[in-house]
Amino acid sequence: MTFQELKELDSQYVLQTYGRNPIAIDHGRGATLYDVEGKEYIDFASGIGVLSVGTANPKWQAAIAAQAAKLGHISNLYYSEPYIRLAQQLCTRSGMAAAFFASGGGEANEGMIKLARKYSFDRYGEGRGTVLTLRNSFHGRTITTLAATGQEVFHNYFFPFTEGFRYADANDLNSLQDVSGHDVCAVLVELVQGEGGVLPLDKDYVQELAQLCEDRDWLLLVDEVQTGVGRTGSLFCFQQYGITPDVVSFAKGIAGGLPMSGILTNEKCRGVLTPGTHATTFGGNPVCAAAALAVLEILDEQTIADVREKGDYLRGRIEELDLPCLGKTRGMGLMIGVEVSEDFSNKELCARLNQAGLLCLTAGAGLRLLPPLTITREEMDKGLAILKDELS
């Protein structure tokens, strides 16, 4: 079908909940994609940070095909090898103790919030169910994770929201103390706020926050839905902050494009969720778990170390271009924010780049780049050339 045909059918049969670019992607390889008319695009978006090993990675494809031919699904009333091996890999490489698998990021965060509330209930009884989160955060689109999201624009239309969340300013421990109280059970943070504008938290702040959580017996919940799985140049971002969360969530990049998410707990929290208290039908799906195992095999220590270098390279080259519409860059690894100068609209610049053949994203008031972690130098240079030509 042509783009026009697809667009018309979409508007007829699909709920119009997305602001889509006028592009229909058909296929690709690595960080190079093609639309239905054969036009080439360089991928600086990875979906939204999902295609961690690029499009149609051969090892990833082979793992999925082999698992699909063997066992495509089995309920969680039975054991199966892929999710068990995946849990082992994730725990071994992160230093965490045990995993629970789900399908999406918001769902994983709901699991963390449930775990924190039950941890507190088991120890202290009722009345200690409040979770502190940070302004400008993003934790998902379910009713509860919208409430957890510290941005007023998300607290509309869908009343009543789940109660039990209060918000503090990022990088400000006093602000957190001001909204704390005897009803608090946990603090939930993104170490690099993604949707909010690619804003890394200060290392000192995070370490002091971890100490405060320990002192008060609040659980430290880290949302690594976007920062996890090598994106920032370590398997999990918390590994670069010198802290260990009580619970960490992951999703987007874990299975390289298939829907999978989950949480990892430390030793202290492994026994909180007991049979019957938490479950999900698709959690730990064998095909998704096999894909995730392939992703983790591709993302070995060297490949993840290269992520930091690639990020430095992209940021350096973008700042060198010194384009009037762009400002400074920030972020960690291949999670990059680019400031957009006043008088320019990030949405408009992003749309123009997409149209010119460079898929990218916005976040906050800037541009956001989340290329596949396996992107090659040649693909980065092609993308940078498009950026330069389009925005000069």
Ligand X SMILES: *Cc1c(COP(=O)(O)O)cnc(C)c1O
Residues near ligand X (CB under 6 A): 104-106, 109, 138-140, 190, 194-195, 223, 225-226, 251-252
Select 142 or 355, whichever has its Cβ closest to ligand X.
Answer: 142
The minimum distance between CB 37 and ligand X, in angstroms, equals 29
Sequence letter at residue 279: A
Beta sheet of 247-250, edge-to-edge order: 98-102, 261-265, 247-250, 219-224, 184-189, 130-134, 165-168
The minimum distance between CB 36 and ligand X, in angstroms, equals 25
Which residue of this chain has its Cβ atom nearest to ligand X in the complex? 105
Dist CA 24 CA 299 (whole Å): 29
> Is-contact 253 230, C-beta < 8 A?
yes
Select 80 or 149, whichever has its Cβ closest to ligand X.
Answer: 149
Beta bridge partners of 361: 368
The minimum distance between CB 225 and ligand X, in angstroms, equals 4
Dist CA 117 CA 153 (whole Å): 26
DSSP string, 114-157: HHHHHHHHHHH-SS--EEEEEBT----SSHHHHHHSB-GGGSSS
Select 48 or 356, whichever has its Cβ closest to ligand X.
Answer: 48
The minimum distance between CB 109 and ligand X, in angstroms, equals 6
Select 146 or 386, whichever has its Cβ closest to ligand X.
Answer: 146
Select 195 or 339, whichever has its Cβ closest to ligand X.
Answer: 195
Q: State CA 97 to chain mean position distance.
A: 21
The minimum distance between CB 287 and ligand X, in angstroms, equals 18
The minimum distance between CB 186 and ligand X, in angstroms, equals 15
Sequence letter at residue 257: G
Select 136 or 226, whichever has its Cβ closest to ligand X.
Answer: 226
